[in-house]
């Protein structure tokens, strides 16, 4: 749009210059023709020579004035062309700025979209990490519950082991007591056997004595066959010996019976004790094996629980670190998003301001093209009175109303042409007001001057 406007301005300017050149060329040719005719008439009519010469001088002066006006017009056309080029450059720069702003806004919108996507990804990652964290916490709770159950089972097994050991100690005490009784019974049996052996020896002695006495009795009988007293005494002695021998045999049988009963009881007690010892030993071995197995299982479960707890703690720490990192990244993305949004807003404001400035430039250019009089003394512009615009407020003035050259905030340190009102404002030591404030002040001042 700006290039079309510039082309239209250039075409209008070229057409205006061509039209003015053609017009003044025609006028100059007409004056030259008239001058030639006048000279011819002056030569032919001698009597009107003075009048013809004065008229020729007037025509020469008119020709010079027209040539001067043509030079002024060409200068004005050159200045207008220069201003058109400046306006064209400014509009091209504005268009480039607008394109750059649109590109920057598009890029920022893409960044904003990617930032939204990254923020959504960070939020989803944070949610997933929180779910994993909750699962790890549940796993740790289950492991702690299982560990507590294992501790309870260990305490129960330790109680059972203590009871089994107590029973084993009691059985061992009973075994020791039975062994003592067996030793006492064996000793009693040994004493009884010793006594039995002594009685058997005594019985053998008595039998030998009896046989000896029987031999003596027989010899005495043979020697004293007729002695009745001796026979009675011998028989009585034999009867006493036989009775003593029977008593000793009865005592021996009783001792043998007691020894057999004691040996049988001791053997039975020994077998029962041996069976009880074997039962207790087997039960103790099973209990110890069970305890060892339970302890091994408890140690393995405890180690597995510790490993699981360590792994869960590591995963928990990693999840917390990932969560904190994700939160930091989300905060950074939100901050970047806020910054980008602010930057986009600034760019949009800049674009709006540039569009407004372009509109003002276009309207100012249209006003400059259509202006026919100055804003201060309101003189009518012509070929002899050039129009100048103020580089500060943009108004149109004649040379007398804009002779000053001063540095404005937009001239980059270079003195430019300004009107008298702007020169007065810029000459003040205080900071200059905005362009609109200066324009309103100048408009009010111009209005009051026009009324005067």
DSSP track, 181-208: HHHHHHHHHHHHHHHHHHHHHHHHHHHH
Please give the Cα distance from 203 to 411 (Å, whole number). 162
Which pLDDT does position 325 carry in this prediction?
A: 83
- Grade residue 322 by pLDDT with cuts at 50, 70 and 90: confident
Average pLDDT over residues 193-215: 73
Average model confidence (pLDDT) for the chain?
70
User: How would CATH label the architecture of 130-332?
Assistant: Orthogonal Bundle (1.10)
Token match 């009973």: residue?
174
Contact between 361 and 87 under an 8 Å Cβ cutoff? The reply is: yes
Which pLDDT does position 282 carry in this prediction?
A: 81
| Whether the predicted pLDDT of 407 surpasses 70 | yes
Which pLDDT does position 434 carry in this prediction?
A: 52
Average pLDDT over residues 233-248: 72
CA geometry: angle 291, 296, 298, nearest 5 deg: 90
- Grade residue 156 by pLDDT with cuts at 50, 70 and 90: confident
431 φ/ψ sector (left φ>0, alpha ψ -120 to 50, else beta): beta
pLDDT tens per residue, range 62-86: 666 666 666 666 665 566 556 656 6
Please give the Cα distance from 101 to 317 (Å, whole number). 46
Q: How many residues does the chain have?
A: 452
C-alpha dihedral (16, 17, 23, 29), degrees to nearest 10: -170
Which pLDDT does position 373 carry in this prediction?
A: 43
Contact between 3 and 38 under an 8 Å Cβ cutoff? The reply is: no
| Whether the predicted pLDDT of 42 surpasses 70 | no
Residue spans of the domains in the chain: they are 130-332, 372-452
- Grade residue 451 by pLDDT with cuts at 50, 70 and 90: very low
| Whether the predicted pLDDT of 441 surpasses 60 | no
Please give the Cα distance from 416 to 438 (Å, whole number). 17
- Grade residue 24 by pLDDT with cuts at 50, 70 and 90: low
- Grade residue 447 by pLDDT with cuts at 50, 70 and 90: very low
Q: Which of 96-100, 169-173, 288-292, 447-451 has the highest mean pLDDT?
A: 288-292
Q: Which of 69-83, 181-195, 225-239 has the highest mean pLDDT?
A: 181-195
Which pLDDT does position 55 carry in this prediction?
A: 63
CA geometry: angle 80, 85, 86, nearest 5 deg: 95
Please give the Cα distance from 151 to 301 (Å, whole number). 10
Reading the block at residue 266, the tokens are 């001791």
Contact between 157 and 293 under an 8 Å Cβ cutoff? The reply is: no
Q: What is the pTM of this model?
A: 0.32
Please give the Cα distance from 75 to 141 (Å, whole number). 96
User: How would CATH label the architecture of 372-452?
Assistant: 2-Layer Sandwich (3.30)
- Grade residue 376 by pLDDT with cuts at 50, 70 and 90: very low
| Whether the predicted pLDDT of 435 surpasses 80 | no
Contact between 398 and 386 under an 8 Å Cβ cutoff? The reply is: yes
Reading the block at residue 165, the tokens are 């050991």
Lowest-confidence segment of 99-103, 151-155, 279-283, 332-336 by average pLDDT: 99-103
- Grade residue 371 by pLDDT with cuts at 50, 70 and 90: very low
Please give the Cα distance from 140 to 146 (Å, whole number). 10
Which pLDDT does position 449 carry in this prediction?
A: 38
| Whether the predicted pLDDT of 47 surpasses 70 | no
Which pLDDT does position 331 carry in this prediction?
A: 82
Lowest-confidence segment of 12-16, 180-184, 393-397 by average pLDDT: 12-16
Which comes out higher in pLDDT, residue 19 or 417?
Answer: 417
State what percent of residues in the chain have pLDDT above 70: 55
Instruction: Tell me which DSSP letter residue 379 carries.
Output: P
Which pLDDT does position 446 carry in this prediction?
A: 45
Which comes out higher in pLDDT, residue 91 or 132?
Answer: 132
Please give the Cα distance from 442 to 449 (Å, whole number). 10
Reading the block at residue 86, the tokens are 């400046």
Which pLDDT does position 382 carry in this prediction?
A: 53
Radius of gyration of the chain (CA): 73
| Whether the predicted pLDDT of 90 surpasses 60 | yes
Contact between 344 and 112 under an 8 Å Cβ cutoff? The reply is: yes
Please give the Cα distance from 388 to 399 (Å, whole number). 7
Phi, psi of 25 (to 5 degrees): -65, -40
Average pLDDT over residues 32-37: 71
Which pLDDT does position 353 carry in this prediction?
A: 81
- Grade residue 198 by pLDDT with cuts at 50, 70 and 90: confident
Please give the Cα distance from 175 to 72 (Å, whole number). 148
C-alpha dihedral (447, 449, 451, 452), degrees to nearest 10: 170
Lowest-confidence segment of 234-243, 263-272, 314-323, 416-425 by average pLDDT: 234-243
Residue 65 burial (CB count, 10 A): 11
- Grade residue 365 by pLDDT with cuts at 50, 70 and 90: low
Helix (H) or strand (E) holding 386: none
| Whether the predicted pLDDT of 427 surpasses 60 | yes
Contact between 395 and 375 under an 8 Å Cβ cutoff? The reply is: yes
Reading the block at residue 229, the tokens are 């007293």
Average pLDDT over residues 402-425: 84
Contact between 351 and 103 under an 8 Å Cβ cutoff? The reply is: no
How do 415-418 and 404-407 pair as beta strands? antiparallel
Please give the Cα distance from 357 to 339 (Å, whole number). 26
Which pLDDT does position 377 carry in this prediction?
A: 44
Which comes out higher in pLDDT, residue 111 or 342?
Answer: 342
């Amino acid at each position: 749009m700006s290039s079309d406007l510039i082309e239209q301005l250039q075409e209008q300017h070229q057409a205006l210059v061509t039209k003015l050149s053609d017009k003044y060329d025609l006028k100059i040719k007409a004056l030259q023709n008239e001058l030639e005719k006048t000279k011819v008439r002056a030569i032919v009519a001698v009597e009107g020579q003075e009048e013809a010469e004065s008229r020729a001088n007037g025509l020469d002066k008119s020709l010079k004035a027209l040539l001067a006006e043509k030079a002024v017009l060409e200068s004005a056309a050159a200045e207008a062309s220069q201003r058109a080029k400046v306006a064209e450059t400014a509009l091209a720069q504005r268009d480039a700025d607008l394109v750059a702003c649109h590109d920057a806004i598009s890029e920022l919108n893409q960044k904003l979209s990617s930032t939204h996507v990254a923020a959504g990804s960070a939020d989803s990652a944070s949610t997933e990490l929180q779910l994993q964290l909750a699962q790890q916490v549940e796993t740790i709770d289950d492991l702690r519950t299982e560990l507590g159950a294992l501790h309870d089972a260990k305490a129960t097994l330790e109680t059972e082991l203590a009871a089994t050991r107590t029973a084993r100690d009691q059985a061992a005490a009973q075994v020791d007591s039975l062994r003592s009784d067996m030793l006492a019974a064996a000793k009693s049996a040994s004493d009884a056997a010793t006594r039995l052996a002594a009685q058997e020896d005594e019985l053998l002695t008595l039998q030998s004595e009896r046989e000896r006495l029987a031999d003596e009795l027989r010899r005495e009988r043979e020697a004293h066959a007729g002695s009745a007293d001796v026979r009675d005494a011998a028989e009585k002695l034999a009867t006493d010996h036989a009775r003593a021998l029977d008593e000793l045999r009865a005592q021996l049988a009783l001792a043998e019976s007691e020894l057999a009963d004691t040996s049988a009881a001791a053997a039975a007690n020994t077998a029962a004790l041996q069976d009880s010892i074997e039962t207790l030993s087997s039960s103790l071995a099973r209990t110890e094996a069970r305890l060892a197995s339970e302890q091994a299982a408890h140690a393995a479960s405890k180690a597995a629980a510790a490993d699981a707890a360590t792994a869960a703690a590591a995963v928990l720490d990693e999840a917390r670190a990932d969560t904190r990192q994700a939160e930091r990244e989300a905060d950074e993305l939100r901050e970047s998003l806020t910054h980008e949004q602010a930057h986009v807003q600034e760019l949009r404001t800049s674009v709006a301001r540039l569009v407004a400035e372009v509109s003002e430039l276009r309207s100012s250019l249209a006003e400059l093209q259509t202006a026919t009089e100055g804003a201060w003394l309101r003189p009518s512009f012509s070929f002899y009175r050039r129009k100048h615009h103020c580089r500060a407020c943009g108004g149109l003035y004649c040379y007398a109303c804009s002779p000053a050259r001063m540095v404005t905030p937009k001239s980059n340190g270079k003195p430019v042409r300004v009107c008298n009102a702007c020169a007065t404002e810029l000459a003040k030591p205080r900071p200059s007001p905005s362009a609109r404030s200066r324009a309103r002040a100048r408009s009010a001042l111009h209005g009051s001057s026009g009324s005067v």
